[in-house]
Amino acid sequence: MRPRLLATLVLLIVGVHHAGAQAQSRSGLWLEAGGGTGTIRIGCASCLEPIALYGNSAYIRVGGTISRKVLLGVETFTLTDRTFALSDGDSSVVVKNTMFAPVALWYPWAGGTYVKFGVGVASTDIRTPPREDTPAIVTNGIGSGLTFGAGFDIPLSRRFALTVNGGLYYSALGDVGVNGTLIDDVITTMYNVNFAITIR
């Protein structure tokens, strides 16, 4: 009974999704906003190995519709790690990674699956609070970035959908100064998974 029940539920979900996907409209202006979790790897020319950090991600995309298969817009994405440690027992350093990019979403099939790509501007901020013997440190690196990803719209109505997506953000920040020391050729790579509410 259980295999039959499971198969029935799967067929029901697929059928409902198929009907919703066929009915969902993609036209005019659209908006997608969500958040999730991700990881960032920070490497440089003189680093022995990349530093891996984990944090919370958030993004907003807005744009217009070229056709049912192609959407163009702009995206701002942020991944923040509030527990990065410069030393043992230290968890007061905030690392914030941001990218702003024009993006294209392409729906290659009839359903709600899309792929995303874009090119933009990226930045990384490292902030430490002031201490008794040292002032607050704010370090910023700005450079170019690429983003790739894929997502899936689960229609709730003709205009609203729940979207599940994942992506990669690659940033070349160049030379970044940290506490008086210049770090050469800093490169960050962010991976993330998000859930969003979408108006198509």
Average pLDDT rounded to a whole number, residues 36-60: 83
Residue 91 to residues 43, 46, 78, 136, 184: CA-CA distances in angstroms? 21, 25, 20, 15, 25
Total number of residues shown for the chain = 200
**pLDDT score for 131:** 62
The amino acid that residue 86 corresponds to is L
For the stretch 94-143, pLDDT in tens is 778 899 999 999 999 888 899 999 999 998 877 766 666 655 666 777 88
Please state, rounded to an integer, the average pLDDT across all residues of the chain: 78
For residue 27, pLDDT beyond 90: no
pLDDT > 90: percent of the chain: 38
* Type of residue numbered 94: V
Judge whether residue 90 has pLDDT over 70: no
- pLDDT band of residue 197 (cuts 50, 70, 90) is very high
Q: How many CA atoms lie within 13 A of 101 on its CB side?
A: 26
pTM for the model stands at 0.74
CB 179 within 8 A of CB 24: no
The H-assigned helical ranges of the chain are 2-23
Question: Who contacts 145 (Cβ-Cβ below 8 Å, separation ≥6)?
Answer: 99, 101, 119, 120, 121, 122, 169, 170, 171, 172
